Amino acid sequence: MQDRSSSRAREILAMLYFAAMYARKFQAAIVIGDERQPMPLDWLDSFCMRNFTGSGEFDDTLPTAEGSLEVGLGVDPTRLAEAMGEWLTKRGKGNGKPVKVELTE
């Protein structure tokens, strides 16, 4: 019996950890010129992978679908949007135009 209850306790702790880690859900839109659209999932995924950005600042980000991501409480959404826009612009995702990212909770 103790094995079962300690296993269940570990399960509950893991669920609480991940629920707190990605506590906020955001919609991510890109604005290029006059066009606004949900951010493609592959763009979100690439940005959120640390080896692409070289920064641990946004480790607590999890893309969940096109235009959708979950973010930990330690991540500043304003800074995240700015960094995403800069990163996407540098990679030419705006075809010569700046990419602005809008995050809404």
CA dihedral 43, 29, 63, 12 (to 10 degrees): 170
> Is 9 a member of any domain?
no
Q: Which residues touch 46 (CB under 8 Å, ≥6 apart)?
A: 52
* Per-residue model confidence as pLDDT tens digits over 20-70: 556 799 999 999 999 999 999 999 998 888 646 667 778 888 898 999 999
What was the pLDDT predicted at 1?
A: 47
44 falls within a domain:
yes
% of residues, the chain, pLDDT over 70: 79
Q: Is residue 6 part of a domain?
A: no
Print the domain residue range for 35: 23-104
Instruction: For strands 68-71 and 35-38, give the pairing.
Output: unpaired
In this predicted structure, what is the pLDDT of residue 68? 94
DSSP letter for 69, please: E
Pick the range with the lowest mean pLDDT from 12-21, 37-46, 79-88. 12-21
